[in-house]
Amino acid sequence: MADKEKTADATDKIVAGAAKLQLDEATGEMVSKSELKKRLQKRQKKEAEAKRKAEAAAVPSKPAATSTPKAEEPVNTTPPPTIFEVGFLDDVYKERPMESVVTRFPPEPNGYLHIGHAKAISINFGFAKFHGGKCNLRFDDTNPEAEEEKYFTAIEEMVAWLGFKPDKVTYSSDNFDELYLMAEKLISKGRAYVCYCTDVEINEQRGGKDRGARSQCKHSTQSVEYNLAEFRAMRDGKYKPREACLRMLQDITDGNPQMWDLIAYRILDQAHHRTGDKWKIYPTYDFTHCICDSFEGITHSLCTTEFIQSRVSYEWLNKQLEVYEPMQREYGRLSLTGTMLSKRKIAKLVNEGIVRGWDDPRLYTLIGIKRRGVPPGAILEFVSELGVTTSPSIVQITRFEQTIRRYLERTVPRLMLVLDPVRVVIEDAEELDLDIPFSPKFKTMGNHTVRFTKTVYIERTDFREVDSPDYFRLAPGKSVGLLQVPYPVKAVSFTKDGDKVTEIKAVFDKSGKKPKTYIHWVPEGSRGVEVRLHNPLFKSEKPESAEGGFLNDLSENSEEIYPNAMIESGFEEVKARAPWPEAAGEDGKGKGGLESVRFQAMRVAYMTVDSVDSTDDKIVLNRIVSLKEDEGKSK
Ligand SMILES: [Zn+2]
């Protein structure tokens, strides 16, 4: 009895010791708390130094405003002010301080949103939210040719997923009647005319290198009555597409091309998603956007810098029409190097079966990023970290992944997952229930029980048939720690089938010597899962400019599949308790899909459940990000 007690006592100590081991994210090693602390301090010092140097070289930033940190762990620096409190967006607000801010997010419903749109969503919805205002989701659906129902739905879902609720969902097409009247008003004021020029002629009028000086269209001098009658004739179907259009009479002497008599209405022989065949003429973006902003009482119309030149025509048109004038301001767009966002090119990858669909986890569509398991909160944090200025943010994928990794580190539970299992029979082991914390750092995540069995499975790569002095995992005659298990195990023999090790026989190493390394394992009877590790889809940072086209730049190794992986039983609880974390659009039970079942597979990667290919019987896991930066790259 006394012996047994002694053993139990020792067991407790060792279990407690193993529970305290923490992952060093930078190296992927499991190390003691004090060692990790030492390492982190050393790295922080190094980082701080680098930061100081960088800051000395950069433009001085504004003083930090106050805000409360939300993170559960103590942070060593004061949180930076949000993008709405300082810098560009603060200046925009100060330029037009309004009591009730109204903004809009105006996507064209002709494709899936991508990572760049996440910035636009964060900015427009976030700006309104920060100032206690409202933000509309407006479908800019004036081009009937490209619109499809699935895009409308997907866009609304992505806005909600990022945690925002539009004050109203509006459609530019709902204003077709009003817009038409505005066009007649513009004609009546002598500021628009019906033009019969061909595309080539209109282009020639714009002047330029081979075309000589700019010139006024000969139709610009027609009378108001004539233009009105002809515009109505356009509306009533007298002309076929391209035979006539309505142009604004602006100022061709202006240096800005957006003032060179832009087209306001064109004829399209196409039914519209919402208005059917009511219209044969459709307003252009240049005509529609500013008027719809005005109709909706938008106070701050925020868009990307590609629209800087358009600001002049935007303001011109609202002024001419004597309607409410929103203020347009432009911020730099966000792009990630090594990603491809072109709709046409992604469509090619989808159609040729190179990827699993528009939501393939290797793509940077928002539905792809969602399926990959990236939490919406991490995307918002990423946008916020980059800040908002008038210059474009061209960012490497690794930086995006670094933010995701940091975010997951403090928000998801930890489990053991073995990708390529090999059987270990521990001959002198007894079954034992282990009480394992979901997170060594955040006790609030709670504990769960894992049954330790005589037969366990470890990673094939954690065993070597021939030992060497610089190797610290399992080998014949060598001991290794099993995470959370009282004693290290020592391999005594192994059997092979051909080249493949099929079983390792081991015994507990009760010598009392602390193992150099701990490895993850799962007990017998663990759930089998398929694991997909995704790597960058392209070999280069610029797939679009690869020789012979982007298809030549495809990486052969962008998806590694482990069909026979095994996961410990704690997974069932993590799945039942999802979303992890409860943040942004997943704030609450049932709000996240299967992709909100996230966890850190210790020593493996951050993982999520694939929401498309998983069933009750067969779980498919996707890698969200690797545990450390260079791991993903080297593969
Ligand atoms: Zn003309």
Separation of CA 226 and ligand 1 centre (Å): 14
What pLDDT shows up at residue 1?
Answer: 38
469 occurs within a structural domain: yes
Parent domain of 460: 415-524
Strand partners of residue 138: 170
Centre of ligand 1 from the C-alpha of residue 264, in Å = 13
Q: What is the pLDDT of residue 10?
A: 43
Output the six-digit token pair for 442: 């955040």
Tell how far the Cα of 295 is from the centroid of ligand 1, in angstroms: 30
**317 CA → ligand 1 middle, Å:** 20
Protein residues placing their CB within 5 Å of the ion ligand 1: 195, 197, 217, 219
Residue 82 DSSP symbol: P
Find residue 496's DSSP bridge partners: 501
C-beta separation of 231 from 194 below 8 A? yes
Q: How far is the CA of 202 from the centre of ligand 1 (A)?
A: 7
Q: Closest by alpha carbon to 146, among 183, 112, 109, 172?
A: 109
Residue with tokens 């663990």: 526
Mean pLDDT (the chain) is 89
Looking at residue 197, what DSSP letter applies? -
Contact 300, 103 (CB under 8 A): yes
- Report pLDDT for 252: 95
Domain count, the chain: 1
Give the Cα separation of 124 and 269 in Å (integer): 34
Q: Give, as one character, the DSSP assignment of residue 147.
A: -
Residues 6+ away with beta carbon under 8 Å from 53: none
Q: Please report, in angstroms and rounded to a whole number, the separation of the first and last CA atoms in the chain.
A: 52
- 263-268 LR contacts (CB < 8 Å, sep 24+): 263/195, 263/202, 263/287, 264/183, 264/186, 264/192, 265/183, 265/231, 265/234, 266/241, 266/242, 267/234, 267/239, 267/240, 267/241, 267/242, 267/243, 268/144, 268/145, 268/241
Q: Which residues contact 31 (CB under 8 A, 6 or more apart)?
A: 21, 22, 23, 24, 39
Long-range contacts of 379-383 (CB under 8 A, 24+ apart): 379/115, 379/118, 379/122, 379/162, 379/584, 380/118, 380/122, 380/126, 380/162, 380/163, 380/584, 381/407, 382/118, 383/83, 383/118, 383/119, 383/122, 383/123, 383/334
- Rounded Cα distance between 520 and 523, Å, is 10
* Strands (E) located in 349-420: 393-396, 414-415, 417-418
Rounded to whole angstroms, the Cα distance separating 565 from 417 reads 7
Ligand 1 centre to CA of 174 (Å) is 29
Q: CA neighbours within 13 Å on the CB side: how many for 382?
A: 33
CATH code of residue 454 = 2.40.240.10
pTM of the full predicted structure?
0.85
Give domain status of residue 421, yes or no.
yes
C-alpha 560/C-alpha 534 separation (Å) is: 6
- Structural domain includes residue 463: yes
Burial class (CB in 10 A: 0-12, 13-18, 19+), 398: middle
Mean pLDDT for back-to-back runs of 10 residues, the chain (635 residues): 43 44 53 66 72 51 40 56 94 96 95 95 97 97 82 95 97 97 98 97 91 93 98 97 98 96 96 93 97 98 96 98 98 91 92 95 97 97 94 92 96 97 96 94 93 97 95 95 95 96 97 93 97 94 88 94 98 95 86 94 98 95 92 45
Q: Is 428 inside any structural domain?
A: yes
Catalytic residue among 191, 232, 333, 591: 333
Per the document, the length of the chain is 635
Residue 259 CA to ligand 1 center (angstroms) comes to: 15
Q: Residue 349's pLDDT is what?
A: 95
Query: What's the gap in Å between 197 CA and the centre of ligand 1?
Result: 4
Tokens of 467: 């030992």
Rounded Cα distance between 174 and 592, Å, is: 32
Please report where in the chains the tokens 């997909």 appear, as a residue: 532
Q: Ligand 1 centre and the CA of 315: distance in Å?
A: 24
Gap from CA of 91 to ligand 1 centroid (Å) = 42
- 333 catalytically annotated: yes
Name every residue whose Cβ is closer than 8 Å to that of residue 260 and which is 6 or more positions away in sequence: 205, 206, 214, 250, 252, 254
Distance CA 587, CA 584 (A): 6
Looking at residue 191, what is its pLDDT?
Answer: 98
Under DSSP, the state recorded for 212 is: B
Q: Indicate which residue of 274, 343, 423, 464 is catalytic.
A: 343
Identify whether 24 is part of a domain.
no
392 found inside a domain: no
Beta strands 102-105 and 134-139, pairing class? parallel
The CA 233 to ligand 1 mean position distance, Å, reads 16
Q: Is the peptide bond before 581 cis (omega within 30 degrees of 0)?
A: yes
Query: How far is the centre of ligand 1, averaged over its atoms, from the C-alpha of 306 (Å)?
Result: 27
* Options 35, 72, 85, 108, the catalytic residue: 108
Residue 550 lies in a domain: no
Residue of 12, 5, 30 whose CA lies nearest to 517: 30
Q: What is the DSSP letter of 61?
A: P
Active site residue 591: no
Per-position DSSP letters for 271-324, written without gaps between them: -BTTTBTS-SEEE-HHHHHHHHHHHTT-SEEEEEGGGTTHHHHHHHHHHHHT--
Q: How many CB atoms lie within 10 A of CB 203?
A: 12
Tell me if residue 108 is catalytic: yes
Amino acid at 16: A
Residue 77 confidence (pLDDT):
59
CA of 141 to the centre of ligand 1 (A): 27
Residue 455 lies in a domain: yes
